[in-house]
Amino acid sequence: MRFFHRIREYIKLGLWDYIEPVQNILRTLGVVVALFTMGVIICFYGFEQTEFSTRFCNIVVRCSLAFYVLKYCCNYIFNKHPLNFLRRNWTEGLVILLLVIWFVLRKILHFNFLGVIFGDDLSMSSGLMLLLQCYFFLLMLMEMSGLGQVLSKLKVGPAGMMIASFFVLISVGTLLLMLPEMTTRGISFIDALFMATSASCITGLSTLNLFADFTLKGQIVMLLLIQLGGMNIICFATFFMSFYKGGNLRYQSIIKEMLNTNMQNSRSLTREIMLYTFLIEMIGFIFLFVYVSVTNIYSESTFKNVFFSLFHAVSAFNNAGFSILDGGMQNPLLIHNYYIQTVTILMVFFGGIGFLTLHDVVNVRKTQGRRHYWDRLQVATRMVLKMSVMLLVFGAIMFLLLEHNHLKGHSAIDNIYAAFFTSMSCRSSGFTTVDISFLNTSTIVVMMVLMMIGTSSGSTGGGIKLSTFYVLIKTVWASVTNRRQVTIGNRAVSFDTVNKSFIVLQITISLILLGIFTLSITDPQFPFLKIVFEVISACGTVGSSMGITPYLSVSGKFAIVVLMFIGRVTVLTLTVSISRKAFNKFMIAKTNISI
């Protein structure tokens, strides 16, 4: 050990003046190699595979692996404090260690553990590429920290960064979906843009059949877009940078303002968000996988059951509403399957209450005092839980009352599940076990109101948010009763919060009216009610439709794309852009206006 230490010190002394330039070059090359290798893997999967493309991809992968092992070793040797380097970069070291273990098992011991897990569903080459895709995806997120200094020089606020992150995600998703191997019959640019936007903005509206028109590779791309869009790719980057080189303050400030938390807790909260997300998705995946494996209702293939369970769990928790089954939840396999419907409702509920609510519920026991558990929760948490349950029950009761004629002839449990499932999903997820186009107009109106309200702030859902809706109700009630303050849970609500709530409502209503006006011009052949429903569903990122989405014109599809993008981004950016406080140094004279 001492001999190795002396050799390392002699090397450092001889190359002391070149250490910093070499580290900068290695950092830049790391980003370039990661992007180039990901590009090669994408081309390998996106186009028809040939003997030359397979050989070329294998060469690039081997060279990139050798480069990153060499880079890690050089950074360790040239670092002034090697032990601190290992602590700061333990994530990258763990990934490289796993790759070394895989290399020993696969190349030296000739043991294909992927084949043992998935059987003949995955060949050795495809299993290798799947593993490498995951590796380089993680590697790219870690290498993004190297771009933190460049991004911090750009005069772009947190709101601009969040908008840019969704724009980049949608653009990359569109290009990926246009690759020949992603669809069965090809795809136009507008359909690729529509599907990528719908998945990234976790909406669920679809111009194509995810079951019939997409290959397994295309479905995997949609799954990644749903996961990244639901969590926001900035949150992913912040999570990995919190382990890698100390993180970046610009990204932490975005998370702070997006989730309305303080700067000291932004890093730890980001890790908890990732933990809650993957933990809940994993629990839902296990419940679904065990059930479909035992009953074989979907497939006898282990890999297909794994992918179905994973896709459904991620789509449900992120309130995306996509399904790889033909017809979605209306498929004969699921329409009367109360087990899968129950798991789906619970996943949608947990995804819709928000990460801050989950954080408070889990960590409330750490607070001091002997009060009741409910009283120890924060005011916002109690409001979200109470309003979520109230709206769920309200929607279910209204469905049962307004659709009593259509529900005749069905069993009581069928009607109850249909009512609660529709009430839960129409606020954001877009899953549905009933044909919406056959519902009564009164039921459609109730659904549109619930779609506008949406889910909780900081959640994977959309709408104006539960907190906005509750503050608006309390504000109106305070005005009617001549109260000077708006109070929630014996706490006064600030004027900024009330003002922000009305601005969110005004912008949402304006956006909906503009969308209705646009679609009435581009697609006048559809009934007015269906156009209104489609627009509200897009603005609220719900994904429910009365059946007109695939038949929209090109201009109509583009209009829905814009609505989905604004509907997803606006709720995230209003808090950042509106919360900038401006203090006037003087007051101007008041005037009275008749109302």
What residues are paired with 491 via a beta bridge? Answer: 488
Separation of alpha carbons 302 and 324, rounded Å: 16
pLDDT tens digits along 496-552: 888 888 888 888 899 999 999 999 999 999 999 999 999 999 998 898 899 899 999
**CA gyration radius, the chain:** 26
Indicate if the pLDDT at residue 152 is higher than 60: no
CB under 8 A, 24+ apart: contacts of 241-248: 241/142, 241/144, 241/145, 241/148, 242/267, 242/270, 242/271, 243/90, 243/91, 244/88, 244/89, 244/91, 244/92, 244/142, 244/145, 245/88, 245/89, 245/145, 246/88, 247/145, 248/145, 248/148, 248/151, 248/152
Separation of alpha carbons 261 and 378, rounded Å: 13
Separation of alpha carbons 326 and 333, rounded Å: 10
Identify which of 132, 99, 145 has the alpha carbon closest to the alpha carbon of residue 240: 145
Cα dihedral 326, 329, 331, 334 sign: positive
Most confident of 218-222, 380-384, 580-584: 218-222
| pLDDT in the model for residue 123 | 45
Asked if 43 and 61 count as a contact pair (C-beta separation under 8 A), the reply is no
Percent of the chain at pLDDT above 70? 74
Identify which of 225, 195, 200, 199 has the alpha carbon closest to the alpha carbon of residue 549: 195
pLDDT tens digits along 336-389: 889 999 999 999 999 888 877 887 887 765 555 556 777 778 888 888 999 999
Residue with tokens 């950042």: 576
Cα-based angle 312, 315, 319 (whole degrees, multiple of 5): 135
Domain parsing of the chain, residue ranges = 1-153, 352-364+375-578
| pLDDT in the model for residue 22 | 74
Phi, psi of 95 (to 5 degrees): -65, -45
Residue with tokens 């090697």: 82
What band does 263 get if pLDDT is binned at 50, 70 and 90? very low
Asked if 560 and 536 count as a contact pair (C-beta separation under 8 A), the reply is no
Identify which of 426, 430, 431, 469 has the alpha carbon closest to the alpha carbon of residue 450: 426
Q: CB atoms < 10 A from the CB of 12, how many? A: 14
Cα 9 to chain center, whole Å?
A: 47
Indicate if the pLDDT at residue 467 is higher than 50: yes
Separation of alpha carbons 189 and 192, rounded Å: 5
| pLDDT in the model for residue 379 | 84
| pLDDT in the model for residue 247 | 47
Mean pLDDT lowest among 118-127, 162-171, 209-218: 118-127
pLDDT tens digits along 430-466: 888 888 888 999 999 999 999 999 888 777 778 888 8
Separation of alpha carbons 558 and 193, rounded Å: 8
| pLDDT in the model for residue 90 | 74
| pLDDT in the model for residue 244 | 44
What is the DSSP pairing of strand 491-493 with strand 486-488?
Answer: antiparallel
CA distances (Å), 581 to each of 201, 419, 486, 497, 577, in order? 29, 44, 20, 12, 10
Residue type, 222: M
Cβ-in-10-Å burial (0-12, 13-18, 19+) of 593 comes to: exposed
Return the percent helix, strand and coil in the chain, to nearest 5.
70, 0, 25
Separation of alpha carbons 431 and 100, rounded Å: 43
Helix or strand or coil: residue 11? Answer: helix
| pLDDT in the model for residue 334 | 86
| pLDDT in the model for residue 15 | 62
What band does 122 get if pLDDT is binned at 50, 70 and 90? very low
Helix or strand or coil: residue 214? Answer: strand
| pLDDT in the model for residue 140 | 60
Sequence-distant (≥ 6) Cβ neighbours of residue 551 within 8 angstroms: 526
Mean pLDDT lowest among 61-75, 171-185, 207-221, 496-510: 61-75
The kind and range of the H/E element at 107 are none
Asked if 407 and 329 count as a contact pair (C-beta separation under 8 A), the reply is no
Separation of alpha carbons 166 and 233, rounded Å: 8
What band does 571 get if pLDDT is binned at 50, 70 and 90? low
- The model's pTM is 0.82
